[in-house]
Structure 1
Amino acid sequence: MTSSSTLKMVCNKDQVSLYKDVINVADKTYKIVFNARNDGFPISTMIGFKMYTLLYELNRDIIHSFKVIKENDESIEMVFLFKSVGKEFGIAPKFMHTITTADSIQSPHSCCVFNSVDVRNENDNNISIPKKYERLYTNKSILTIHLISNNELHFDFTFSLKDNDENNGNNDNNDKNQNEKNELPIYMENSVALMIKKMFCRLKVFTERMT
């Protein structure tokens, strides 16, 4: 868990705060925090795996495609294909393939925790990822939604973004060179995190305007 003392503010526009862990730099860990309130609609009913479909629908200019591979009451397997960030630098577009589980915690405060981990196998016939896409390794991300009331939610999303798989010790030099080639320039290192923040900004606006 990232402590507040390691975090530096990247952007707090639109009442959505994006922080970066500046102590454990190699982890490329970020945190997005915001509240959503709608006195005219019980937004607590929106909590669930359906939020991921909503994120796609609200961000089609960012997400090229979204597919649910498997889903049940406890987990969902998803593939996101993102439009290119840093195309002018020859950076390949990215994809995420994750399994997310949901757990409800009733005390001391009611919340729902969504834990996402990378899926390492793309050999399933239901999965078709064009060769031009490079995997964006999230390793593990945790989205915690606190139920302040039926009309107010607090979002806390911690995630890491990497272009290589440090959990795989079998990468050869060609793989490493390819990963280095597809890394964003230093001055653009926050661009993907800012893109994800933009997605959640739109979720906040949509949530607060529901009737």
Structure 2
Amino acid sequence: MAGLRERKKAETRQRIADVAAHLFATQGFDAVAMTDVARAADVSEQTVYNYFPAKQDLALDRADAIRQRLHDLVVDRPRGTSPAVALQVVVFEDIARARTDDLAEQRGQFFALCAGSPVVRRFGLEVRDGQVGALRDALAVTDPSLHPGLAHVHASALVAILQFVGDAIGAAVLRDTRPAADLEDTARVAIADLDAHFHQLVHREAHP
């Protein structure tokens, strides 16, 4: 019974998030109120608040899961693999979805919302800060000899690639276009640069 309740709660949460994304896509984040989401999802306003305490939480509904995935990819990466190479799967998945997913639907998703709403952009930067912290913590687990300050700087550089790609996707969506043809190549160059930098960093820390 407990499992059924949890499944129904998860389904309700997802339905509310999907409805909100559609409203954000068609009306814009700033024009949508929590009451609009409740009405469209056919639930009470209190139910919406139970799952999403603030409106920005509807735009950031996957933030925790993504942060955890980034952390796990770095912690679980094969020996000798840099964090940048471990995270490239996320980068290229984001670009691939941006090239194939419906553009109208993408208007209600995180990248486009950040590009179109200063409010979401501000909260999105907090999400990025959380990702930096998660990656810094992951490096503390896998590379404890790395100076904490250097680990933080490297984590920030990793997140900068994610944000660059996300910003490029969001801006393209608002123009009703797909990302630039060279976005993958630019991301590959940035990833290769951080890959080389990390190996140099680890070598230098091991041989001061």
- TM score, norm. by length of structure 1: 0.26
User: Per residue, is there more strand in 1 or in 2?
Assistant: 1
From the two aligned structures, give the one with the greater helix fraction. Answer: 2
For the pair shown, which has the larger CA radius of gyration, 1 or 2?
Answer: 2
